[in-house]
Amino acid sequence: MKAFIFDLDGVIVDTAKYHYLAWKRLAKEFDFELSELDNERLKGVSRIDSLDIILRLAGKQMDQAKKHELADKKNTWFLEYVNNMTPAEILPGSVNLLEELKTASFTIALASSSKNARTILNKIQLTDYFDVIVDGTMITHSKPHPEIFIKAARLAGVPANECLVFEDAEAGVEAAVHARMRCVGIGNPDRLHKAFIAVSDLSRLNLQKIQSLFQHADTVKS
């Protein structure tokens, strides 16, 4: 592995709860109660695609102008939460792993469908760890389309098969697989069964464990 590509929400920091609160608030405007289970379908998905999912669940139809108006309203509410974020909200193990990778001179990339990814990184003071940042403003297709990971690898100058992705969403894991990259799932292994392995959070990993795991896999494969 020469490049390590991280999703943001649910991997490095938990802004999923803020997305959920904002989407739930928006859904109530058209008399739909968004459940936590429904919200799982929105993880790793773009803003407009997320709204389309909610509208389908609610049995509602709206024109594109109205959709963009609602998506902007949701984002305003989300940013109210984000602007109060601090480094205390970084998830366990994230900083230690980023430090290890940086010290070892690996390329580190962020690939997040969020258009607010840079704002979030600045708030939690992690921007300087990343050599490449690809966010929702730079892509046309959201996960599970592999575009975001392919773009991150291209900007990093590293072949796809030499990239390792860290993802917490099913759509993100599928995107990594479609990009022909290996993927570590962060979360429930049953839900992220398409990942190479799954762990509860980044505190379960360090550089030595990652290298050992994949060297062993390559030895078995050969």
Region class of 116: left (phi > 0), else alpha (psi between -120 and 50), else beta: alpha
Asked if 75 and 185 sit in the same domain, the reply is: no
Q: What are phi and psi of 197, to 5 degrees?
A: -145, 165
Nearest-angstrom CA–CA distance, 101 and 183: 16
- Do residues 218 and 196 make contact, with C-beta atoms less than 8 angstroms apart? no
**Domain limit, last residue, from 35, 60, 82:** 82
Comparing C-alpha atoms, which of 119, 124, 112 is closest to residue 149?
112
Q: Is 131 among the catalytic positions?
A: no
Asked if 25 and 131 sit in the same domain, the reply is: no
Asked if 120 and 182 sit in the same domain, the reply is: yes
Beta strands in the chain (DSSP E): 3-6, 107-111, 132-134, 163-167, 182-186, 197-199
- CATH for 137: 3.40.50.1000
Nearest-angstrom CA–CA distance, 49 and 19: 14
Asked if 166 and 117 sit in the same domain, the reply is: yes
Query: What residue numbers bound the domain in which 44 lies?
Result: 16-82
- Do residues 192 and 170 make contact, with C-beta atoms less than 8 angstroms apart? yes
Asked if 144 and 69 sit in the same domain, the reply is: no
Asked if 107 and 43 sit in the same domain, the reply is: no
Asked if 34 and 9 sit in the same domain, the reply is: no
**Domain limit, last residue, from 38, 53, 82:** 82
Asked if 77 and 93 sit in the same domain, the reply is: no
**Domain limit, last residue, from 82, 98, 120:** 82
Asked if 26 and 77 sit in the same domain, the reply is: yes
Comparing C-alpha atoms, which of 121, 116, 134, 115 is closest to residue 89?
121
- CATH for 55: 1.10.150.240
Q: What is the pLDDT along the chain (222 residues), one digit of tens a residue?
A: 899 999 999 999 998 889 899 999 999 999 999 999 999 888 778 889 999 999 999 999 999 999 999 999 999 999 999 999 999 999 999 999 999 999 999 999 999 988 899 999 999 999 999 999 999 999 999 899 999 999 999 999 999 999 999 999 999 999 999 999 999 999 999 999 999 999 999 999 999 999 998 886 665 443
Q: Is 7 among the catalytic positions?
A: yes
Asked if 26 and 132 sit in the same domain, the reply is: no
How many structural domains is the chain composed of? 2
Asked if 25 and 72 sit in the same domain, the reply is: yes
**The pTM is what?**
0.84
Asked if 58 and 147 sit in the same domain, the reply is: no
Q: Write down the catalytic residue from 9, 38, 135, 168.
A: 9
Q: How many CB atoms lie within 10 A of CB 59?
A: 8
Nearest-angstrom CA–CA distance, 114 and 216: 34
Comparing C-alpha atoms, which of 176, 209, 4, 179 is closest to residue 107?
4
Residues in CB range of 50: below 8 A, 6 or more apart: 23, 42
